[in-house]
Structure 1
Amino acid sequence: MTETNESGVLLHLTRESTSIKSILGDQQVRAVNAYGAVRKHDTLRDTQRVVCLSEIEPDSRVRLADRRGDFGLAFRADWAKSAGAAPVWYLPRDAGPQQVLFNLVKAMAYGRGKDPDPQHPLWKLTPFIDYPGTYEANGAPTSYEWSWEREWRVHGHLPFRPADVKFVCAPEAAHDDLRAVMLHRGYECPLIDLRWPPGHRAPAGTPEPKTQERTVHGLFDGDPWAGSDPGVEIDPPMPVQGWREQLDEPYDTLDDWWEEYHRDD
């Protein structure tokens, strides 16, 4: 298990534009695939379906897009935790703790001469446990090592509201199409391309806030598009049109923007 900065973001990525449109429209990321220590067990597989999220460092974003896809959305880590997300526990194969847990899971899943009880609380933990290492596949050694993704998982589906989404990502060529979907569905968050190079100046055109009480002060301090909190002095409201062009210069590049989104509160 890796330590986390809970002011950071967790990304869910997919390869298809139709998938992210469906997610945004349904306001839910569906738990389609089974993961974890008993993901291949016939009886338990359906109890191991999860939503996968990644707490990546800025310099790993392109590597993650290569593996998972360029379309996706991000949530604050603290919000995702409140929705049931937890970091994956990586136990290296053949390490002492892995052997203890492996033997326990094996005995519970296979060693009783009958199918395991899907309601046993152990199976609520196994989706969050992985055994990285080198395995035999098709007669050749294969590396199973994804700890660099700093993965979190949610057991079951992950419902959300548009206001819970910190930003949406897609290839820049798909932005016009996806921006129309976001505006129609009420998403007011930024839209970025994970492959923008260092120093890239993000183009104007991110969905505008619908109300003038939401200020740029809230965009980079706490939750994006946060409204006025009682007792907190904030900047005067900005005009609805042209908010992106009026951002301070330090936030004009993708690197500065990303660093600010990952900073400690």
Structure 2
Amino acid sequence: MKKMSTDYPSHWTDMSNYLVHFAKGNGRAHKTFSSTITATRAADPGYWTMMSVLSTGRLRPGGAFGIGRKEAPDPARQRAVCFSEIPPGEWLRLSERRRSAYGIGFSKQFISKRGGGPIWYARNGSEQNKALKKLMRMGEGDPDHPVWRITAMIDAPGVYGLTSYEYEWEREWRHIGDLMFEPKDVAFLFIPEELHAQARAFFSYTYHENLGPAYFCPFIDAKWPKARVDEELLKEPLASQPPLPSYDEYFEMVDLGNGRRISKRISRLRRTSDG
């Protein structure tokens, strides 16, 4: 198979060589990479979802998508993982829409090799849309009809009564079904800048203690402008894994109520250098 050519020049600011996926969140609080996190998941800007994704190496579909999501005989075949090819420097709008500060980025080549691709648009009421609806009627009740192999990759933007469906700005790609990956497949992670050093210490500890996957790819803050993103992505990869991080340990008094107090030892990973 001929290699997909998607390495656009850096001055083509309207194009992207990457596909991004933000973890589901509600945007109400920040989390830290620590074994002592106590904040509730109800106030999560995507941290817990992202940690689940990274620990399992799996992105699961958020639901059924496309023009056949309600009509398909087997809705499970319409379930897809969604990505965006919004170019670097414009990722904040997607972060804000997803109410998430955490996410993952892949190269287009990786997603393409796994069978993913850009979705198609057949506007509501157009001749193309009418033709697709006719094909879906022909495949009604037959889950193996060829039309159901493409419907998850087609959206129908337009006006529907008093509402409208307009999401072309997301420049969406989809992958049907679960997407499995390894740390080496990840181009970068979205993490708030103030947590980058702590995240590096966390993954260093995970690596040295063999506790699970460890990610040493670039970390990107969705708020960064394109120049800052490019700077980070151009850095040389680690020649070797980082050293085992050290800890900050201290004791803290905890009030148990009814006049009872205990001394609790707190152990936190010490941040590694951002250099």
Normalising by structure 1, we get a TM-score of: 0.67
Unaligned regions of 5+ residues in structure 1, if any?
Answer: 110-115, 213-240, 246-265
Contact in 1 for aligned 2:122/2:154 (Cα 8 Å): yes
Coordinate RMSD, CA, aligned: 2.9
Alignment match of 1:60 (pick from 90, 102, 106) = 90
In the alignment, which residue of structure 2 is the partner of 1:118? 143
Structure 2 counterpart SS, 1:70: coil
In the alignment, which residue of structure 2 is the partner of 1:146? 167
Q: Distance in 1 between matches of 2:201 and 2:51?
A: 10
Contact in 1 for aligned 2:88/2:225 (Cα 8 Å): no
In the alignment, which residue of structure 2 is the partner of 1:161? 182
Structure 2 counterpart SS, 1:56: coil
2:56 counterpart of 1:35: no
Look up the equivalent residue of 2:65 and give its one-letter code: Y
Quick one: structure 1 residues 181 and 157, their matched pair in 2 at CA, closer, same or farther if it must change by over 3 Å?
farther
Which has the larger share of strand? 2
Structure 1 counterpart SS, 2:222: coil
Name the % identity: 35
Q: CA deviation at 1:180?
A: 4.4
Q: Distance in 1 between matches of 2:72 and 2:132?
A: 20
For residues 187-213 of structure 1, the C-alpha deviation after alignment (integer angstroms, 9 at most, x for no partner) is 11011110135666989xx9x82628x
Q: Distance in 2 between matches of 1:84 and 1:198?
A: 28
Q: Distance in 1 between matches of 2:218 and 2:145?
A: 42
Alignment match of 2:156 (pick from 118, 128, 131) = 131
Structure 2 counterpart SS, 1:58: coil
Alignment match of 1:22 (pick from 27, 43, 52) = 52
2:209 counterpart of 1:186: no
2:218 counterpart of 1:209: no
Q: Distance in 2 between matches of 1:9 and 1:40?
A: 30
Q: Distance in 2 between matches of 1:35 and 1:44?
A: 12
Which has the larger share of helix? 1
Look up the equivalent residue of 1:121 and give its one-letter code: P
Alignment match of 1:10 (pick from 11, 19, 26) = 19
Q: Distance in 2 between matches of 1:123 and 1:55?
A: 25
Q: Distance in 2 between matches of 1:88 and 1:198?
A: 25
Q: Which runs of 4+ in 1 moved over 4 A?
A: 197-203
Bigger radius of gyration, 1 or 2? 2
Q: CA deviation at 1:59?
A: 4.3
Unaligned regions of 5+ residues in structure 2, if any?
Answer: 8-16, 26-45, 207-212, 242-271
